[in-house]
């Protein structure tokens, strides 16, 4: 009898918590629906001397602790979205999706991409800036700095990229080295330091704000070995692997390329897209083990190029929409590079206005792209391996679960 009462109480509290805290999701699962169950760990032993009220209290205490942990994790989930080069799809496709969720991104402009080919024009770049997007520099030309033969050429790419943006009305403070190469070269580092406050020259799944990922957290030895702050040089004069001029991003395109090579399927088909979606979810949530309430130690910085199916490693509009929806539904605060400050005395990054960022995203904007109706109502062919998942309509789900992936194959 006590077991039955405990089960009823458990079910009631789970449903109540979900309804009252927006844990429940009303999203309709269409093309590829998944609910990942979070196992309920019974951390106490039934005792013949326990009465039903004792069991009820244990159930309530356990669920309350889960809910509190969930809310604290949400409060400390940040992500920075960045795009580089300056493709037209940033303005025409990515922006409407981000605008729907109230998100902004940092756009790193390679000046030789603007007004050419499939690049944006300057009016579109200005519109991004006017709408709150962060405009930064990716160089005068998208050329590997490490392959240039003279210091004058290196100087031209770095300082010329800043001057190009200034001539068009922007004031960039951050630089992304083309192909993220050059952080080991002291001249390149010095030239960047003479023109910018921060820079990217490498990749890692997380950017540690104190540049101490390995030494203090045992994370990513290759990129964080030997550093406990973000000074650009060791005492012997060699550049540190991660510093304020060698920040790290996670490349969505590189992950896509790895999955393409592993699966050898349609690069924008359901299986590849789903695998990439899972990897995105893993990356953005990996910060939680390093952050504490009121103390942000690590942030994922997710780098994109094109939001288009024209490139095998680009991000499809459908997948990008679902990734942004995931960030919104799970309480992530999406910030820009401009929201990062730098403490020159402690030699570390910090998030400006950490307690107020994200509050402006409390309501969805009514700007849903018209093509999303096609995504959400796409019918899978009868007999396909996904057709049995079609039109599944979950009435609840548990925290930290993946709800659906609506990909048109």
DSSP string for residues in 58-79 = HHHHHHHHHHHHHHHHHHT-EE
336: its two tokens: 């820009």
**Does pLDDT of 373 surpass 90?**
no
Specify the DSSP class assigned to residue 406. -
In a domain, 8, yes or no: no
In a domain, 393, yes or no: no
In a domain, 282, yes or no: yes
pLDDT at residue 61 in the model = 45
In a domain, 367, yes or no: no
**Does pLDDT of 121 surpass 80?**
yes
**Does pLDDT of 27 surpass 50?**
no
* Cβ neighbours, 10 Å, residue 356: 9
pLDDT at residue 84 in the model = 95
Angle, helices 52-75/2-20, rounded to nearest 10 degrees = 20
Specify the DSSP class assigned to residue 307. B
**Does pLDDT of 263 surpass 60?**
yes
- Closest listed residue to residue 298, CA positions, set 84, 98, 77, 130: 77
288 lies in which domain range? 75-361
**Does pLDDT of 224 surpass 90?**
yes
**Does pLDDT of 137 surpass 80?**
yes
In a domain, 339, yes or no: yes
Sign of CA dihedral 39, 43, 46, 49: negative
In a domain, 150, yes or no: yes
In a domain, 12, yes or no: no
CA atoms within 13 A on the CB side of 259: 25
- pLDDT digit string, tens, across residues 267-316: 999 999 999 999 999 999 999 999 988 899 999 999 999 999 999 999 99
CA atoms of 109 and 88, how far apart (whole Å): 12
Question: Looking at the DSSP assignment, which residues form a beta bridge with residue 298?
Answer: 208
**Does pLDDT of 367 surpass 80?**
no
**Greater model confidence, 4 or 275:** 275
**Does pLDDT of 381 surpass 50?**
no
Q: How many domains does one find in the chain?
A: 1
pLDDT at residue 71 in the model = 52
**Does pLDDT of 168 surpass 50?**
yes
pLDDT at residue 314 in the model = 97
Helices (H), 264-371: 270-285, 317-329
**Does pLDDT of 10 surpass 90?**
no
- pLDDT digit string, tens, across residues 321-362: 999 999 999 999 999 999 999 999 999 999 998 766 554 444
Specify the DSSP class assigned to residue 92. I
pLDDT at residue 371 in the model = 41
Q: For residue 201, what is the domain's CATH number?
A: 3.20.20.370
Q: Are 135 and 165 in contact (CB under 8 A)?
A: yes
Q: Which residues contact 345 (CB under 8 A, 6 or more apart)?
A: none
CA atoms of 70 and 311, how far apart (whole Å): 37
In a domain, 155, yes or no: yes
- pLDDT digit string, tens, across residues 225-241: 999 999 999 999 999 99
CA atoms of 207 and 297, how far apart (whole Å): 8
pLDDT at residue 353 in the model = 84
**407 phi/psi in degrees, rounded to 5:** -110, 130
**Does pLDDT of 398 surpass 60?**
no
- pLDDT digit string, tens, across residues 205-221: 999 999 999 999 999 99
Q: What percent of the chain has pLDDT over 90?
A: 67
From the number of C-beta atoms within 10 Å of its C-beta (0-12, 13-18, 19+), residue 142 rates as middle
Q: Are 165 and 111 in contact (CB under 8 A)?
A: yes
């Amino acid at each position: 009898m006590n077991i039955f009462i405990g089960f009823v109480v458990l079910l009631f509290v789970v449903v109540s918590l979900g309804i009252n805290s927006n844990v429940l999701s009303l999203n309709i699962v269409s093309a590829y629906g998944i609910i990942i169950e979070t196992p309920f760990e019974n951390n106490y032993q039934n005792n013949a001397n326990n009465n039903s009220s004792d069991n009820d209290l244990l159930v309530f205490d356990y669920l309350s602790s889960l809910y509190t942990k969930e809310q604290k994790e949400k409060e400390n989930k940040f992500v920075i979205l960045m795009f580089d080069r300056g493709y037209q799809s940033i303005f025409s496709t990515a922006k409407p999706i981000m605008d729907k969720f109230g998100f902004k991104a940092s756009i790193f402009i390679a000046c030789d991409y603007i007004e050419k080919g499939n690049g944006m024009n300057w009016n579109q770049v200005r519109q991004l800036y006017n709408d709150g997007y962060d405009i930064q520099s990716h160089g005068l030309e998208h050329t590997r700095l490490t392959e240039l033969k003279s210091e004058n050429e290196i100087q031209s790419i770095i300082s010329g990229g800043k001057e190009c943006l200034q001539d068009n009305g922007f004031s960039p403070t951050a630089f992304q080295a083309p192909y993220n190469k050059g952080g080991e070269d002291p001249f390149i580092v010095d030239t960047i330091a003479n023109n910018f406050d921060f820079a990217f020259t490498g990749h890692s799944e997380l950017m540690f704000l104190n540049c101490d990922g390995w030494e203090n957290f045992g994370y990513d030895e290759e990129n964080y070995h030997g550093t406990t702050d973000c000074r650009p040089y060791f005492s012997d004069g060699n550049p540190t692997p991660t510093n304020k001029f060698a920040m790290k991003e996670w490349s969505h395109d590189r992950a896509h390329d790895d999955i393409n090579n592993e699966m050898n399927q349609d690069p924008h088909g359901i299986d590849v897209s789903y695998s990439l979606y899972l990897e995105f979810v893993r990356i953005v949530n990996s910060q939680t083990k390093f952050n504490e309430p009121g103390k942000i130690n690590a942030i994922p910085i997710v780098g994109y190029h094109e939001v288009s199916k024209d490139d095998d490693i680009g991000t499809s509009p459908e997948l990008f929409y679902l990734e942004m929806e995931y960030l919104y539904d799970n309480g992530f605060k999406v910030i820009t590079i401009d929201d990062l400050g730098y403490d020159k005395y402690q030699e570390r990054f910090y998030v400006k206005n950490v307690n107020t960022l994200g509050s402006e995203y409390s309501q969805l904007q009514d700007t849903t792209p018209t093509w999303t109706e096609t995504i959400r109502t796409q019918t899978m062919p009868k007999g396909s391996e996904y057709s049995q998942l079609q039109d599944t309509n979950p009435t609840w789900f548990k925290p930290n679960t993946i709800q659906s992936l609506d990909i048109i194959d």
